[in-house]
Amino acid sequence: MSQDKENFRDSIGTINEEGKRAWVFPKKPSGKWYSYRKYVSYFLLVFLLLAPFVKIDGNQFLMFNVLERRFNIFGFPFWPQDFHLFVISMIIGVLFIALFTVAFGRIFCGWMCPQTIFLEMVFRRIEYWIDGDRGAQIKLDRQPWNAEKIRKRTTKWIIFFIISFVIANVFLAYLIGSDRLIQYITDGPLQHISTMVSLLIFTAVFFWVFAWFREQVCIIACPYGRMQGVLLDNKSIIVAYDHVRGEAENGRKKFRKNEDRAALGHGDCIDCFQCVNVCPTGIDIRNGTQLECVNCTACIDECDTIMEKVNLPKGLIRYASEDEITKKEKFKFTPRLKGYTAVLTILTGILIGMLFLRNDLEANILRLPGQLYEHKEDNIISNVYTYKLVNKTTKDVNDVSFKLLSHQGTIKLVRNEDFRVPAQNLAEGTLFIEINNAAIKSDKEKIKIGVYSGNELVETTMTAFLAPRSYQ
């Protein structure tokens, strides 16, 4: 860690001494790690843009319809009745990120987070194209509103707004489903005013985030940035400055040609500030692990480039743990990591088992609230029920009927005896169950009902059957 105590701070890096926003003008990154990030980002961008439009067995690949409580994860549909499965899936996702954070720091933020990918690989690259690199952007920001500045700002903001509108449409496809979105587009905006208003609100939010709020999302709004402080330890591999090598005995010093830095006790850091200039959150990585660092590796590439130019070894800033830098200890699979892995493995196994055991047609048969039994002729006891059948598949379930499996008796529907449950939809109705008193052993009997499609048993369910106490 840096020996220059004046470099330490007690406020976030994007706030100046007056408490105002300190705008970050990062230098355009380049290098090995940035190239890797581009490949990963382009793949994820394609994935994010296409996922709501890809279908598996008729199910949207990813959908998070909060209003109707319908979710599709990797083609698996989750209905309100499957909420426990959705919760387990989300817990597994959080644990997976936590496991990687303990092992590799905030790598999710720098490499996979949609906020970082869109900002760094889309919006900022457009900004470099229009406004130029760091120096040109600073100059443009300081100059008065002349024709050049107005032209560049207007062009950039129009492009940002168009991209934000596209992102908002894709975001809406995740929420309401791609089929419905395409239908709304085909119908025209005037036919769906409320949806259009929502779309423009989403567009405005995305535009505001990527045009102005930017890195503040990672620093202020995102809870994961705060959580990393709890998850990281000295064994976590992060983007780290090798302060042992960089500071040496007498600290940093500007580079001078043909100077014997080792003999003078100076570290390999030549205090060029390029790692600071290239940082998208405006921090000095030489001050150690910080809240704002998203592990984007821009400082690694820039430092390696400088080290190569001054004929010093690369890796002054690199992926490393604090223990590796100070104690030369290599990465180990610690008991903490083993614990996270064990819990993750168990939950994943439970989820897979539940998915295999889940029925494609789910039945709920409940007694009609406020209704008692009816005593009919020939010692027949009748109870009235409501039923709800949820078809989770993309195919209709035809010729649906009910049969008592646990008792001798009859089931009478208020509607036609056989009906169908539409694909990815539900069927509701009322039915009567009639059982002879001789087959009833208690005043609240558990009965088992089978749901059939034709002659095939597709689901079973249990419900309560009330009878008078005198028949116990």
Give pLDDT tens digits for 296-340. 999 999 999 999 999 899 999 999 999 999 988 888 888 889 998
Q: Give the chain's residues under pLDDT 70.
A: 1-10, 229, 416-418, 470-472
In angstroms, the first-to-last Cα distance of the chain is 80
**What is the model's pLDDT at position 8?**
56
Length of the chain: 472
**What is the model's pLDDT at position 443?**
85
Tokens in use for 3? 């020996």
Q: What are phi and psi of 64, to 5 degrees?
A: -130, 70
Handedness of CA 155, 158, 164, 169 (dihedral sign): negative
- CB neighbour list of residue 442: distance below 8 Å, 6 or more residues apart: 467, 472
The answer to whether the pTM exceeds 0.85 is no
- Supply angle C-alpha 368, 374, 378, rounded to 5: 140
Q: Of 238, 219, 240, which is closest to residue 285 (Cα–Cα)? A: 240
**What is the model's pLDDT at position 471?**
42
Q: Which residue has the tokens 């078809």?
A: 391
CA distance linking residue 60 with residue 214, whole number of Å: 30
- CB neighbour list of residue 357: distance below 8 Å, 6 or more residues apart: none
- What DSSP letter does each residue of 96-140 carry, written as one string? HHHHHHHHHSSHHHHHT-HHHHHIIIIIHHHHHHHH-SHHHHHHH
Q: Which residue has the tokens 């709800």?
A: 388
**What is the model's pLDDT at position 441?**
86
Q: What are phi and psi of 448, to 5 degrees?
A: -110, 130
Q: Of 120, 96, 121, which is closest to residue 108 (Cα–Cα)? A: 96
CA distance linking residue 286 with residue 4, whole number of Å: 10
Buried-exposed string 331-341: b where 16+ CB fall within 10 A, e elsewhere: beeeeebeebe
CA distance linking residue 73 with residue 352, whole number of Å: 13
